[in-house]
Each structure stands twice: as C-alpha cells, then as structure tokens.
Amino acid sequence: MTLEGMEAAVNNAMELGAEFCDIRVDSWQNLSMDIMGSRTRNIVSSLGSGAGIRALIGGAWGFATTIDTSKGSLLHCSKKAVRLAKACTRFVKKEQQFTISEGIKFASGRNEITRDDEMDSVASEEKIKFCLDLDKLARARSPLVKNVILRFSESFGKAAIVNSRGSCIEKSIGTVYTIANVMVKENDVLQSGSEIFSHIGCWNTADPVAVERAVITAADQGLRLLKAKACPPGAFTIIADNKLGGVFVHEAMGHACEADSILSGQSILEGKAGEHIGNEAVTIIDDGSRRDLYGYMPSDSEGIPSRKTTLVKDGILVGYLHDLETASRMACPPTGNGRAESFDCMPQVRMTNTYLEPRDWTLDEIIGDTKHGIYCKNWQYGYVEPDKGNFMFKCKEATMIENGKQTTLLRDVALSGQILQVLHDIDAIGNDFGSSGGMCGKGGQHVRVSDASPHFRIKNVLVGGMEG
Amino acid sequence: MLSIDDDGFDEDAIKARVERQIEALGAPMYEIFMETGASLSIDLERGSLKNAEIGKDSGIGLRVANKLGQTAFSYTSQTDAQSIEKMVKNAISIMQMATPDPDFKSFANKAAIINLPGRVVFDPAIERITIDDAVQLVNGALESARSNPDPRVYSVNVSFKASCTRISLFNSNGIDAREKQSDAILTCDVTVKDGGEMSSDYDFTSGRDLQRISVDVGAKATGLALKTLGKVKIKTGFYPVVLGTRAVGTVLAGAIASGINAELVQQGMSFLGEKVGKAIAPDHFSLVDDPRLENGSRVLSCSFDGEGFPTRRKAIVDAGMLETLLHNSYTANKAGVENTGNAVRSGYTSPPRISHFNLVVQPRRDHVVHDLYNGIKRGIYFDQTYDSPNMATGDFSGMISSGFLIEDGTITSPINQATFGVNLLDLFNSIEAYGDKVDDRAGIISPAIRLKGMHVSGNL
C-alpha cells in the first residue's frame, strides 16, 4: 500500500490550507454467489481498490475520491478536496464552525485481524461445493421444501488511514456472511424461512457446522410457518427473543443516539441526556471492541480506537455515539463510531455491536408471568425515524401466549413503538444473552453490525395484524 | 465539473483489450459492461454548509459463459492490461467451478436499439454544473423552506446530488450499445416541533435534466412537515383507505412490479407467479412499465437494458389482467418467451438483476373522480410506509409512517402511530377510484387511489 503517497497527499492538503485532513485507501477481494434451484448463479470473484481524501476548513469538509491510488492521483485528489472545502467555507454559519479537537487520541500501527493469504487458503471450488451441499441439506428436511435460495459472501479488505495528526493505520479483516432462504409449499400455502450466518475472519476460520445449523433453522422455520395463523391487530404485551431483542435495541434506541442526528436537529433524544428515558433495569451499550461480535473493528474509519460506550444506564440517557466531527462540535471524546462503507463514502456516525445488558429473569419465568401476549422470535428487518420517534421491525415467527403458556403459531408480525415510551414499558429482562449479525443501512451506506440482548418483555406494543 | 468526455476512459480500446484476453484464455460467450462517471454532492445542515463531495469512478464488469451454461462475473476499476488480465482470469476460472445450467442459452441477442433522443436521458447543463451552482440550489431550497415563518419549524436539512455517466455494453452476440445519462436530485428534510411533539417530513425533486430541479421543494417539505403536527390516536379497525402517490409506489405499483420479476417467479418465490393471464385487479386498473418515457422526471428512462437489449414500453396490468412477467435474457430463454428488456444494473461491480423502469398507473376514465374523499365518513389517507411485503405470500404488514384521518370527506388530523396488515391480492382488488391529479415521483407516475379498505391497528 502506498503509505508514502498517502502522507504526501495529506501534507499537500495541509499546505494548501486544510486545517485537518485524512485519507483512506481501501483494497478488497471478494467471492460471492447465489444458489438457486440447486444451481450456482451470479458467482462473482473480484478485486478492487480506491481512495478517499477529506479536508476540513472552517467547519466544512471537502471530499474527493478516486480509483487511481498512485501518488500523482492522490496528490491531485487532495487538491480537489481542499478546493471543495474552500468553496463551502463561506457558507458555514458561525455557530457551526469547528475544528477537530486537540488532544484526540488516534490509533496507529498495524492491525492484522486476517492475514493476506487466508482467503485463498481454501479453494473457491470447495466453498462452492459446500454451498451446493447446503441446498441438499435443506431439501433433506422435508419433501415440502421446494427451493433454497442461498447467498454466500466472503470478503477480505485492507484499509490504510493516514491523517494530519500523525496517525497511520493499516488493518486487514475478513468477513463471511450468508443468508439462507428456504421456500416451502404444502397444498396451496407457500411459506419461507430464513437465517443468517455471520463471521469475522475468512472462510478458513468459520465454523461450517454453524452455517449448516443456520440452513436447517431456516428450513424448519419455513415448515413451521406453513401452519401459522395471521396475527390479530392491536396493542399487545410482547416477549422478544435474543435476536429480535437486539434489533429492537438497535432501532428503538441506537439510531436516535447517533450524535449527527442530534446536531442536525433530527433526533427526538436531543436535550434528553441525564433524563430518565426508561425503566431503571435498562442499560444499553455499544461496543465496537467486542471481538466476538460481527460489528467488531479495532478502530473506526477515522482512526479512533473502538471502545465500549454506555448509552443508557439504569434507565437514564447518559451518552451519544460520536464521530470526529460530532465529538469536536459537542466537545466530548469521540467514541470510535465514525464509519464509512468504503473509500468513496464520507464516514457517518454508526453503531457497532449494540446490546441490552441482561438482568435476572429466566425465560420460563417471563413466559409464565405473561397472561396474554405474543412471543416474537428473530427479525426480518427493522427501521426507525428518529425525528418522528417511531420505530418498526418485523419478526420471523411468533407464538401467542395465553395464561403463561405458548399456544398458536403466528406469521408476519410487524411491531411498532415509540422511542420515548418503549423503554419505560420494558418490565422484565432475562438473564440470558444472544446476538445476531447483519447489515445496517443509513444515508445510502451499509456497514456490518451486530445486535444482542437477553429475552425481555415489553407492554403495549402495537402489532400490525391482518385478521379482523 | 462533471465532464466525462475527456476522462481518458476509452471504451473501444478497453473492449479490444478485454476481448484479446478472453480469446487467449477461452470463454465462448461474454458480456462486457463499462461505466464511467462523475458525481457531485453537497449537504446543508440547519442552514450551514457541511460538506461537498466529488467522486470519479469507472470500471468494467465482465460476465463469461460456456456451452454447458456455466457463468460467472468479475469486475475491475483499473483499465491497465494487468488488471484486465486478472479480471478475465478470475471470471474464467470461477466459471469453470459453476454449476452447468441447461437453461442458459446465451447472453442477450442483438436487436435493433432505437436510441431515445439525447435530451431525454442526458442534460449537458448537469455536466457543466459547478460547486457554486450546487450551493445556490441548496441555499435556494433552504430559503424556500424558511419562507414559511411558522415558529414550529425546527430544523431544515438540504442535500443535492448530480451525476453524469457514460455506459456501454458489448457481448459475443455482437451487441454494441452506448448511452450517456445524467441525474440530479434535490432533497429537503424538515423537522417541526410543537411543545413536546416532534415530527418531520421531506420532499425531493429529481430528474434527468437540471430544469426539473426546483428549489420550491423547500416550501413543499415545510408544508408537509407542518401538517404532521397535532397527531391523534386511532382505534384498531377496518378503515376505507386513500393511498397517496408515495404509498402507491410501495404498496401497489412497486409491489406488482417486484412480484412479476421472472427470476423470483421461476424460483417459486412470488405470490404473482401463477397469475399471468389472470385478473389481479378491477378492470378499471392498468399499469405500464415505460422505459421510453420522454416527459416528466423520466429518471428510469433508458434506451437499452442492463444487458444491452432494447427497452420497450409494455402493459404490466391491462384492464385488471396481469399481462407479463419482467424478463432478462436468461429468464426469457428459460421460459421460452420474448425478452422484455428488464435487466437492470446498479454499477459495474455486480451482475444485472431484473427490475422495472418508470411505472405509470393508468386508470379508466370513468373511475377518475375529482374528490376522492367524498363519501368517506371515517377513513385513512395512507401517505407513506417504508415496509416491504412478503413476496412469497403477498402478505403485507407494516407501519404507516405517515398517515392522516379522513373524517366526513375531508383530511383532518395526522395519525399518531398505526400499523396495517393486508394481503396484496385483496388490496389490488379493492381499488375503487382514482384522483384527477397525477403525481410524478422518482419514476412512479400515478394519482392518489381509493381502496375499499384495510385493517389498521391504532393505540387508542
């Protein structure tokens, strides 16, 4: 990697008048494929690279990107970034001017989570064969399995970050992400089950048995859903499992804690720091340094080391997630949450591994204590509107709970709640803990995250059902 | 600033280089997609400029195939001989590991492309845009938003993005297709506060030409956001519903177009799989997929599809009957039907997928009414949702992200929090009437539409 060219580009930007400058050069290798109808489709094997340079002047960023990472191109790009920043500076309001705070500690040095040769240490052929066998595995669960749609994606990325504060980082990390979608049909009823497997590291370090387990889980879920009933509409007490609970924490609280939305006046949590926003049993954390979770990274896209940040402590809002800009503007330390999807995107404030801390209920106790409710498992997707205070997510399957017992199986349960109310409505938190990895989208950029939680119970959640 | 004519990306030279490598390494069939482009974007946060970005990107996406029907894809953003060799090697070696597929016959066949007039897909004014022009647009939208003196307006955020691309497609069947395209979009987000209540809305203008971009979007966004204040709770029940154009895109036109993706259907994943030739909506409803649209925002207009096959206007639903699936060359060959030219690319880094172009809802005239709300005693104006349906079953439940109460024929209050649940086939069949004002939003061209109703959950 052209560290020398990167340093030259940063120096050039500073000489041209930048107050702060950083440059990221990414290079990557990926292998992805779809399995559909027991055949490979869309097999992709590729390499790529590119660079993005950011210059800050008077509170405005200029950002220029290129796919040519030669020194000459980087120098040209740094000039462009400075020119853009200068063009914007005069339109920055006085109260919104800022510089990157002095005294911020950047990471430096090499961080090799995955070695250069790991991705190629297992032949692509072997990976393809493994995926085709997963198709057979799912079909073997039942003759009702009609199709298996599997997406497999493995990538190895190297990133170098150099900035005008003397930080120079090189890191390399591999990831594996698979989604299995199993279609089942009985008489005229079509259903599907799905499950994700995510892993930090290349395929050589992944656990194939866990992938097989995910595929079986997807198939069995689809088969169960054939018998599921549509959900009744209305407000219900719900119990969230680990995976759905994690997404709940991510959507209901995580996004609204991102400081960029606070500064842009688009979060309902603005000005609420120090206030009771939930039951005192609720503690919510974001921690990018957890190596065991899919949102792990040694440092963020701005060179800030990952760390644990408490967002809600015993029901009180105590912190926001920051990147360099929001931390500087709000005069607090950055939290290592400035993340960019790739070289051609500006970093944004993003979550990493977000979770609700466990308490003392067992799952049996929570269910036994619930007179009338819905036990909701796993997630399809979720989203939030931090400026309206609404969030919504969909679970994969659910069961009705009547008098402390699980009864009818339900499908397509959509849940919606309000940020400022829902944490108050959590009234039982379990003693277990589980996570799921996924991709989170914001402002057109997707980054890997994981969400985790114990089982917990929430009162008065609005459910979008289909039966009258 | 966004000029791409002299960017040194020489398609003919690159094509020759790629073809030489393919010949040397051996792949009987191939398809080369090339794209070179430049984009400018700028963000304004609460009246203050925050950042400006310029990006230049170009690259090559290659698909290869052999007689056994083994196919694979690779790409590169570098055009030097070594990178191209690596891309071709990658593609061919991975192709040999792919499953043989007797349904694969060939990449798209060569067919005469009638290029849309250049002005339809490309505006030189976007190519010439400067950072100062962009600043003027975002500031104009801000001023427009702020022209409303209502003290409840809390924050205004504006962004603008413009881009120019030149795309070209070549394949072993002799396809040679080229087009220059431009896009611009100006978006305004407005957050409003009233006491303890906070809400928001947004509006945008987009188009292939700069003239479509109007700074009035600011005032429109402010107007929309202010209307969302004063939310009321509603009771759970079955309500008559009027779908606004934003919702038509997601729950009606877009849902039909997604459901007839031939790939999805062939994999048994769509609730519309068995419905071609059958009625799926009342006979006063028609829907057209129109990549040849020459007027309006026409953001999805293009002369050829993501495989270089000519695009064409086609009825998807004609007088209630589902007419066709949307095909690319593979699904058309597999089904033994004509290719509809619906392969769509999202850049050179991935193979094409199937999608729709501009969608035009065409109501029969006798069902168009001036006052859609007339006669609705208590109903819901369903403005927007971000949810997506279960395509396998057509079941669709989600949150009404923006909705209003209709009382005695008039829109009254915004709704506090509501979720909905409906099967899409029931929804299509429940269309009753259409408004007389047509909206053009990012490729969805439709009036508001009245439905018999759906289940809505509220928290009153």
Nearest CA among A107, A173, A92, A33 for reference residue B351: A33
The per-residue pLDDT for range A417-435, each reduced to its tens digit, is 989 899 999 999 999 999 9
With 0-12 / 13-18 / 19 or more C-beta atoms within 10 angstroms meaning exposed / middle / buried, residue B93 is middle
- Kindly write down the DSSP assignment for every residue of A322-372, as one continuous string: --HHHHHHTTS---S-EE-SSTTS--EE--SEEEEPP-SB-HHHHHHT-SE
Which of A33, A38, A40, A381 to substitute to test the interface with B, most B CBs within 10 Å? A40
Record: contact A394-B157, CB cut-off 8 A: no
Structure tokens at A467: 């039966």
In the prediction, which pLDDT does A467 show? 67
Structure tokens at B113: 């492309």
Contacts of B459 in chain A (CB under 8 A): 235, 460, 462
Nearest CA among B341, B260, B343 for reference residue B63: B343
The per-residue pLDDT for range A72-100, each reduced to its tens digit, is 999 999 999 999 999 999 899 998 899 99
**Type of residue found at A262:** I
Does B132 touch chain A if contact means CB atoms closer than 8 Å? Answer: yes
Does B49 touch chain A if contact means CB atoms closer than 8 Å? Answer: yes
In the prediction, which pLDDT does A1 show? 52
In the prediction, which pLDDT does B6 show? 77
Distance from CA of A58 to the nearest CA of B (A): 10
* Complex ipTM over 0.85: yes
Distance CA(A390)–CA(A384), nearest Å, equals: 6
CB contact at 8 A, A235 and A298 = no
Distance CA(B354)–CA(B352), nearest Å, equals: 7
User: Phi, psi (5° rounding) for residue A417?
Assistant: -150, 180
In the prediction, which pLDDT does B406 show? 98
- Kindly write down the DSSP assignment for every residue of B260-290, as one continuous string: TBHHHHHTT--TTTT-TTSB-S-TTEEEEE-
In the prediction, which pLDDT does B460 show? 82
Question: For the stretch A279-304, what's the b/e string if a residue is b when 16 or more beta carbons lie within 10 angstroms of its beta carbon?
Answer: bebbbbbbbbbbeebbbbbbbbbbbb
Question: For the stretch B385-396, what's the b/e string if a residue is b when 16 or more beta carbons lie within 10 angstroms of its beta carbon?
Answer: bebbbbbbbbbb
Does B419 touch chain A if contact means CB atoms closer than 8 Å? Answer: yes
Nearest CA among A283, A231, A266 for reference residue A453: A283
Among B residues 2-31, those touching chain A with beta carbons less than 8 Å apart: none
Q: How far is CA A180 from CA A137, A147, A208, A217, A332, in A?
A: 12, 11, 14, 9, 42
Residue B330: HSE in the Cβ half-sphere, 13 Å Cα cutoff: 25
DSSP 8-state code for residue A189: E
DSSP 8-state code for residue A233: P
**Type of residue found at A21:** C
CA–centroid distance for A63 within its chain: 24
CB contact at 8 A, B154 and B198 = yes
**Lookup result for tokens 């402010």:** B222
Which residues face A257 on adjacent strands? none
- What is chain B's pLDDT, residue by residue, as a tens digit (460 residues)? 888 887 789 999 999 999 999 999 988 999 999 999 999 999 999 989 999 999 989 999 999 999 999 999 999 998 889 999 999 999 999 999 999 999 999 999 999 999 999 999 999 999 999 999 999 999 999 999 999 999 999 999 999 999 999 999 999 999 999 999 999 999 999 999 999 899 999 999 999 999 999 999 999 999 999 999 999 999 999 999 999 999 999 999 999 999 999 999 999 999 999 999 999 999 999 999 999 999 988 999 999 999 999 999 999 999 999 999 999 999 999 999 999 999 999 999 999 999 999 999 999 999 999 999 999 999 999 999 999 998 988 999 899 999 999 999 999 999 998 999 999 999 999 999 999 999 999 899 999 999 999 999 998 8
CB atoms within 10 A of CB B455: 22
Record: contact B191-A387, CB cut-off 8 A: yes
Does B39 touch chain A if contact means CB atoms closer than 8 Å? Answer: no
Global pTM? 0.94
With 0-12 / 13-18 / 19 or more C-beta atoms within 10 angstroms meaning exposed / middle / buried, residue B415 is buried
Nearest CA among B170, B243, B237 for reference residue B402: B243
Contacts of A148 in chain B (CB under 8 A): none
Distance CA(B380)–CA(B102), nearest Å, equals: 51
In the prediction, which pLDDT does B2 show? 87
CB contact at 8 A, A305 and A107 = yes
In the prediction, which pLDDT does B8 show? 84
Average of per-residue pLDDT across A175-198: 94
How much of chain A, in percent, has pLDDT values that exceed 70?
99
Query: With 90 as the cut, is the pLDDT of residue A234 above it?
Result: no
The residue of chain B nearest to residue A391, with distances taken between CA atoms, is B399
| CB-closest option in A38, A95, A464 to B398 | A464
Nearest CA among B366, B369, B345, B389 for reference residue B249: B389
In the prediction, which pLDDT does A233 show? 85
CB atoms within 10 A of CB A331: 8
| CB-closest option in A46, A85, A88 to B90 | A46
With 0-12 / 13-18 / 19 or more C-beta atoms within 10 angstroms meaning exposed / middle / buried, residue B47 is buried
SS3 assignment, position B21: helix
Nearest CA among A113, A27, A23 for reference residue A299: A113
Distance CA(A82)–CA(A85), nearest Å, equals: 5
Average of per-residue pLDDT across A137-166: 97
Contacts of A91 in chain B (CB under 8 A): 44, 48-49, 135, 139
Average of per-residue pLDDT across A369-376: 97
Among B residues 369-398, those touching chain A with beta carbons less than 8 Å apart: 386-388, 390, 392-393, 395, 397-398
The residue of chain A nearest to residue B192, with distances taken between CA atoms, is A387
Distance CA(B341)–CA(B306), nearest Å, equals: 8
Which residues face A379 on adjacent strands? A395
Contacts of B130 (CB under 8 A, 6+ apart): B1
Average of per-residue pLDDT across A199-216: 98
Structure tokens at B77: 């953003």
In the prediction, which pLDDT does A464 show? 80
Distance CA(B57)–CA(B27), nearest Å, equals: 27
Distance CA(A299)–CA(A336), nearest Å, equals: 7
CB contact at 8 A, A113 and A201 = yes
CB contact at 8 A, A406 and A367 = yes
CB contact at 8 A, B139 and A87 = no
Record: contact A46-B75, CB cut-off 8 A: yes
The residue of chain B nearest to residue A84, with distances taken between CA atoms, is B52
Average of per-residue pLDDT across A43-52: 93
CB contact at 8 A, A387 and A266 = yes
In the prediction, which pLDDT does A81 show? 97
In the predicted model, what is the mean pLDDT of chain A?
95
**Type of residue found at B183:** D
In the prediction, which pLDDT does A145 show? 97
Average of per-residue pLDDT across A375-388: 91
CB contact at 8 A, B79 and B9 = yes
Structure tokens at A452: 């985790």
The per-residue pLDDT for range A326-344, each reduced to its tens digit, is 999 999 999 999 999 999 9
Phi/psi region, residue B347 (left: phi>0; alpha: psi -120 to 50; beta: rest), is left
Contacts of B238 in chain A (CB under 8 A): 468
Structure tokens at B153: 């307006």
Distance CA(A2)–CA(A161), nearest Å, equals: 11
